[in-house]
């Protein structure tokens, strides 16, 4: 394995500037790693030729002193972002051969910043899942192994599992994720990465295949907090093409990494200790609190009383929106079509052939909760609870600057281990979903290993549009935790 693939984005940025290596060399090293790691199934579509072309352009720009913030840095693009001229599948059969004529705002911004995209990374179908096993193109394997049994293939988490596996296995320096209920943070935790879901409205959703419009948000997945800050800076910004995009100033996120969190108040929500929370996760959390105390911050116990309703609320709101968002995949204009004798039969056949089990499950739930006679009891009630959950956070942030919780209830699990019960899978997101419902920024930072040698992350939650504080605190924890473990073989 090339030393070049072990660099962080910040290091590679300096190396390119100092001409210690070229963007083409950096890209080739990573392309070689991609080729050697196909067993992980992290990529749905590799674009090596495009990448080398871009890398050459980057070298030219670097030579002229016109480098963008991400100039020449190899990244992976979650296959939920529509990319012009490159197949964009959402890991669904229904979009298996869909090649957009347009580029999503966020992927376009990253390219403009000089990032070299090596390909499209795998995800749970339409971002619905927490293990990457619902992808139509096969599961993704986590590069991390259990000490007790390295032969067990573990999931990378989901839905941004391909991105997580690729960054973790050093195939790319960073990758885009999208997060609806935890799809950036949970896989980051499972793969020992930093994953940031920004405030809802921070990144444009234009050109991202929609799952649940009121929750979807793009964000970076990287190996360090600094890299997350660097990458985030080139993803955010107001976009008039997205009516829910926020017209707020874009700060210099990297400048927020001062290392100084003295006097800061850190909220510790008492409701995030459900019965059955493992001793391992409890200890991880306690250790995290200790790190912040040592750095001069003050932990404050807070209450987020509606936390227990977050999961059921999410599983009404998200499927409701998805049932409507996915109606456009009807076989009429693009995507998979299976002919039928009537229009209705064509719809039924196309959608049955095009959508996997989990997607169908959520469309059915969503259709049900929006139906006449059930709408008030489910959807309206869920919207009210969502408001209460957001109010809980708003109240907490009157006294604290940031909130610390576990990211996920466990370390990465084995492929196929939760097949029989979707609820088990859904429970993976109990700590991340409330943040999503409230639209707040949330970041997972790796702070320890499980007894079985697997990475575990803690989640930091910030005020709306205060990604800076979240990043600042995360960097302090990152340093305190000294998380240097790498997956087997790296």
Provide the annotated active-site residues. Answer: 78, 159, 183
Please tell me whether residue 324 binds other proteins under the rule CB under 8 A: yes
Please tell me whether residue 102 binds other proteins under the rule CB under 8 A: yes
Please tell me whether residue 244 binds other proteins under the rule CB under 8 A: yes
Among 88, 159, 407, 459, which residue interacts with other proteins (rule: CB under 8 A)?
88
Among 72, 100, 119, 220, which residue interacts with other proteins (rule: CB under 8 A)?
100
Please tell me whether residue 104 binds other proteins under the rule CB under 8 A: yes
Please tell me whether residue 277 binds other proteins under the rule CB under 8 A: no
Q: Which is nearer to other proteins, 180 or 234 (CB)?
A: 180
Binding mask 168-207 for other proteins (x = CB under 8 A): -------------------------------------xxx
Q: Which is nearer to other proteins, 45 or 367 (CB)?
A: 367
Please tell me whether residue 243 binds other proteins under the rule CB under 8 A: yes
Please tell me whether residue 452 binds other proteins under the rule CB under 8 A: no
Least distance CB 328 / other proteins (angstroms) = 4
Least distance CB 415 / other proteins (angstroms) = 28
The strands making up 217-222's β-sheet, listed across from edge to edge, are 43-46, 116-121, 74-78, 174-179, 217-222, 194-197, 442-449, 455-461, 402-406, 265-269, 298-302
Binding mask 366-405 for other proteins (x = CB under 8 A): -x--xxx--x---x--------------------------
Q: Write out the residues near other proteins by the rule CB under 8 A.
A: 81-82, 88, 90, 95, 98, 100-102, 104, 205-210, 212-214, 240-244, 320-321, 323-324, 326-328, 330, 332-334, 343-344, 347, 367, 370-372, 375, 379
């Amino acid at each position: 394995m090339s030393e070049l693939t072990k660099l962080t984005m910040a290091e590679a940025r300096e190396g390119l500037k100092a001409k210690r290596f070229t963007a083409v060399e950096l890209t080739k090293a990573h392309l070689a790693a991609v080729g050697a790691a196909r067993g992980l199934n992290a990529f749905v579509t590799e674009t090596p030729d495009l990448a080398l072309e871009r890398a050459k352009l980057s070298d030219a720009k670097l030579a002229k002193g016109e480098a963008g913030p991400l100039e020449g840095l190899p990244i992976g693009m979650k296959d939920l972002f529509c990319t012009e001229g490159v197949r964009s599948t959402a890991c669904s059969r229904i979009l298996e051969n869909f090649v957009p004529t347009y580029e999503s705002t966020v992927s376009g911004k990253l390219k403009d910043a000089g990032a070299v995209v090596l390909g499209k990374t795998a995800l749970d179908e339409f971002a619905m899942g927490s293990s990457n096993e619902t992808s139509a193109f096969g599961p993704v394997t986590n590069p991390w192994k259990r000490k007790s049994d390295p032969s067990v293939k573990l999931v990378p988490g989901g839905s941004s599992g391909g991105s997580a596996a690729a960054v973790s296995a050093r195939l790319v320096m960073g990758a885009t994720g999208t997060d609806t209920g935890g799809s950036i943070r949970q896989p980051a935790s499972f793969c020992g990465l930093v994953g940031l879901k920004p405030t809802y409205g921070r990144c444009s959703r234009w050109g991202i295949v929609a799952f649940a419009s009121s929750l979807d948000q793009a964000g970076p997945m990287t190996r360090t907090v600094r890299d997350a800050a660097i990458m985030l800076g080139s993803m955010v910004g107001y976009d008039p093409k997205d009516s829910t995009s926020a017209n707020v100033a874009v700060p210099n996120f990297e400048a927020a990494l001062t290392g100084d969190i003295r006097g800061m108040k850190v909220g510790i929500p008492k409701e995030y200790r459900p019965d059955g929370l493992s001793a391992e996760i409890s200890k991880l959390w306690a250790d995290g609190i200790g790190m912040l105390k040592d750095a001069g911050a003050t932990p404050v116990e807070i209450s987020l009383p509606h936390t227990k309703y977050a999961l059921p609320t999410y599983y009404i709101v998200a499927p409701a929106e998805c049932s409507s968002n996915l109606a456009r995949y009807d076989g009429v204009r693009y995507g998979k079509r299976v002919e039928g004798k009537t229009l209705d039969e064509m719809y039924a056949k196309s959608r049955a052939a095009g959508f996997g089990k989990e997607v169908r499950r959520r469309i059915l739930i969503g259709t049900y909760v929006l139906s006449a006679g059930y709408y008030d009891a489910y959807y309206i009630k869920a919207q009210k609870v969502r408001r209460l959950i957001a109010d809980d956070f708003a109240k907490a942030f009157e006294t604290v600057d940031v909130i610390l919780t576990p990211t996920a209830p466990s370390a990465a699990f084995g492929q196929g281990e939760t097949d029989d019960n979707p609820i088990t899978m859904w429970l993976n997101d109990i700590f991340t979903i409330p943040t999503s419902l409230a639209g707040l920024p949330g970041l997972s930072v790796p702070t320890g290993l499980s007894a079985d040698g697997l990475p575990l992350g803690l989640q930091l939650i910030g005020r709306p549009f205060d990604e800076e504080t979240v990043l600042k605190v995360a960097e302090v924890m990152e340093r305190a935790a000294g998380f240097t473990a790498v997956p087997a073989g790296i």
